[in-house]
Amino acid sequence: MEIKEIVKEKYGQAALRVTTGGSSCCGASATVDGCGVDPITSHHYDANQTGQIPEEAVVASLGCGNPTALAQLNPGEVVLDLGSGGGIDVLLSAKRVGPTGKAYGLDMTDEMLALARENQRKSGLLNVEFLKGEIENIPLPDNSVDVIISNCVINLSGDKDRVLQEAFRVLKPGGRFAVSDVVVRGTVPDEVKRSMLLWVGCIAGALQDEQYVSKLAKSGFDQIDIEPTRVYNIEDARTFLSAEGIDVDSIAAQVDGRFMSAFIHATKPAAACCAPGCCS
């Protein structure tokens, strides 16, 4: 409960900063370089994508990837964004699935929901709905979603097993899980991991790549894959870690190449054929 309250407070403040004309960033760059070019959250979207949606949705972007660019989204499909923030990926998905499809955003932070709904109003998109709730208890029925996307949110949850089980529950048979998240490659000492994850985001609890795969498999997913999209090295984090009093050179060898943003994808198996004609 405590983690959730801290996350809510941090992201509520980030949303308010955007509303008052500032930048949304709330990780290391907010304290160290005043939200300049954040190596985690910047440059994920090209001009073709950002030109399609309100500027405030782009400014509010706090993800560590671009799941809508990597996910397959087809006209008429239902998409759900876990931890939708200011709504950037929901609005981009809504454009891709078109008026016969629907894009849901789910977030627990009131200020983020208000910002996202305002961005939806400015976009004029009607096939969008922002829901208030927690990704550990998704307020949608079983087998109702074609594609789950998410951008740098699952690492924030204190109960990742529950999030993946809920994602599996709401996906239709054959549905796709297509998520950007921070992942740790291999084993890293806890102390080093804590420092790096403090740098990566407001509050991050990234999984090791093998843990992610095994948790997805345990929840029932198959065709699981993790593709690195941005690998971080110690120089990206040097200023922040030094300011925290950490001897950067002594941990460099344990950090380089181990922390990355990745595109994680998996599939809910299609329903088994249970009666004559049921698969036709």
Ligand X SMILES: C[S@@+](CC[C@H](N)C(=O)[O-])C[C@H]1O[C@@H](n2cnc3c(N)ncnc32)[C@H](O)[C@@H]1O
Residues of this chain that interact with ligand X (CB under 6 A) are 4, 7, 11, 61-63, 83-86, 88-89, 107-109, 112, 134-136, 151-153, 156-157
Q: 65 vs 251, which CB is nearer to ligand X?
A: 65
User: Nearest approach, Cβ of 235 to ligand X (angstroms)?
Assistant: 23
Q: 39 vs 86, which CB is nearer to ligand X?
A: 86
Q: 152 vs 251, which CB is nearer to ligand X?
A: 152
Q: 27 vs 251, which CB is nearer to ligand X?
A: 27
User: Nearest approach, Cβ of 45 to ligand X (angstroms)?
Assistant: 10
| Nearest-5° Cα angle at 125, 119 to 127 | 120
User: Nearest approach, Cβ of 202 to ligand X (angstroms)?
Assistant: 7
Q: For residue 278, how many other CB atoms are within 10 A of its CB?
A: 9
Q: 168 vs 251, which CB is nearer to ligand X?
A: 168
Half-sphere exposure of 258 (CA within 13 A, CB side): 20
Q: 25 vs 251, which CB is nearer to ligand X?
A: 25
User: Nearest approach, Cβ of 102 to ligand X (angstroms)?
Assistant: 18
User: Nearest approach, Cβ of 12 to ligand X (angstroms)?
Assistant: 7
User: Nearest approach, Cβ of 100 to ligand X (angstroms)?
Assistant: 24
Residue number, nearest CB to ligand X: 85
User: Nearest approach, Cβ of 62 to ligand X (angstroms)?
Assistant: 4
Nearest Cα neighbor of 97 from 121, 108, 83, 81 is: 81
Cα distance between residue 44 and residue 247, in whole Å: 30
Q: 83 vs 101, which CB is nearer to ligand X?
A: 83
User: Nearest approach, Cβ of 11 to ligand X (angstroms)?
Assistant: 4
Q: 97 vs 204, which CB is nearer to ligand X?
A: 204
Q: How far apart are the first and last CA of the chain?
A: 46
Nearest Cα neighbor of 262 from 150, 153, 183 is: 183
Torsion sign, CA atoms 141, 162, 68, 83: positive
Structural contact between residues 93 and 119, judged by C-beta atoms closer than 8 angstroms: no
Structural contact between residues 24 and 40, judged by C-beta atoms closer than 8 angstroms: no
Q: Which residue has the tokens 């849901």?
A: 104
Residue type, 214: S
Cα distance between residue 113 and residue 280, in whole Å: 41
Q: Which helix (H) or strand (E) holds 261?
A: strand 259-267
Backbone angles phi, psi at 129, to 5 degrees: -140, 130
Q: Which two tokens stand for residue 74?
A: 């087809």
Across the strands, what pairs with 115?
Answer: none
